[in-house]
Copies of this chain bind each other. A is one copy, B any other.
Amino acid sequence: MNNFEYKNPVKILFGKGEISKLKDEVPENVKIMLTYGGGSIKKNGVYGQVMEALAGWEIIEFGGIEPNPHYETCMKAVEVIKHENIGFLLSVGGGSVLDATKFIATAIYFEGDDPWDILAKGAEVKKAMPLADVITLPATGSEMNGNSVITKDSTKEKMAFSSLLIMPQFSILDPETIFSLPEKQVANGIVDAFVHVIEQYLTYPVNSPIQNRFAEGILLTLIEEGPKYLKNRDDYDSAANFMWAATMALNGLIGAGVPQDWATHMIGHELTAFHGIDHGRTLAIVLPGIMKVKSEQKKEKILQYGERVWNISEGDDEARVQKAIDKTVEFFESVGVPTKLKDYGVPVETTVKIVNRFVDRRFKIGENRDICPAEIQLVLEDRL
């Protein structure tokens, strides 16, 4: 196992009815900015529960945060905060709303010219407003980490940043809030959480049995509980297990002390940036290509993944690797997420544009930092 540092102070309140505890968790005597997305929380009862719990607090609403939240939208919220005496940010929604809220929380204090530098240039995050969330979509894991992914609409750039300072003070996970999610979002969330685990697991061995088994445990749970929940959307237990799996997939724990990849995410972000394809779906497209193109470097872990997650124990190494890739594709397709570029109408020209972006960036990706633009091209060609 590699040396590591790990700290995750997010308080989790998990289960039905936990939204009512907002009144005990939010600081007293502050004006709260309540951030949300397209308004689904006003139809599914979540907004009502939040407002009931926060009776007595002054609340400024900031809605309309889009999926793959825009830098431009976040900066509007920053302007509102500058003119109101806001003391606390409460995100009510999915990972996009929460990621936007995290960026808003620190953009307000940014001392340079443009807070976009935090994403584009890795400018230091020195301070952030306190924030918390009611998470209503199991997918990004944003509820228990210090990560945020923001898109600059004007240039179609999608970038990520991380800081302990933007970790939520607390996150409320009530599985009942996901009963009304569109099926497509549930499917995307299953794939997103699955690939989060894979990015921290399918690399090369460093003798880390705890991290491996936790990763495999989350994958097996997503494989069992995800489809079960898609079939029965009122099943509290499978909703709860899916939700907790998605949180554990990206709270830092399974990635502590082990190499991490993230190439699938970096390539996937470009597909979202160019074509607006849902994040989870871009991962389902790219991952099988990464597994194929990097199968030699990832062989040992792919074989372990095949055996422990998919019970693949027959055939030579090459056949077992291919079988593991096939099972992964089948799983994504089985929850209704297509895995080929043509399924989304992405033209060949886009693959060239994406490769050129990586040429411009002049750094290689993957756990060995050895995936060059030519290999990214191979990955994308595999997925045409």
**Using a CB–CB distance below 8 Å, which chain A residues touch chain B?**
1-18, 170, 207-210, 212-214, 216-218, 220-221, 224-225, 237, 240-241, 244-245, 248, 253, 256-257
Contacts and interface: CB of A to CB of B under 8 A. Distances in A.
Contacts of A248: 210
A99 B210 CA distance: 25
B217 A1 contact: no
24 contacts: A1-B240, A1-B244, A3-B14, A3-B18, A5-B11, A5-B12, A6-B14, A7-B9, A7-B170, A9-B9, A12-B256, A14-B256, A14-B257, A15-B257, A207-B237, A208-B241, A209-B220, A209-B221, A209-B225, A213-B217, A213-B218, A213-B221, A216-B217, A253-B253
Q: How many copies altogether? A: 2
For the residues of A in contact with B, the DSSP-based class is mixed
B209 A217 contact: yes
Contacts of A9: 7-9
A241 B1 contact: yes
Nearest to A253: B253
B241 A207 contact: yes
Nearest to A164: B11
B14 A4 contact: yes
Contact of A241 (B2, B10, B210): B210
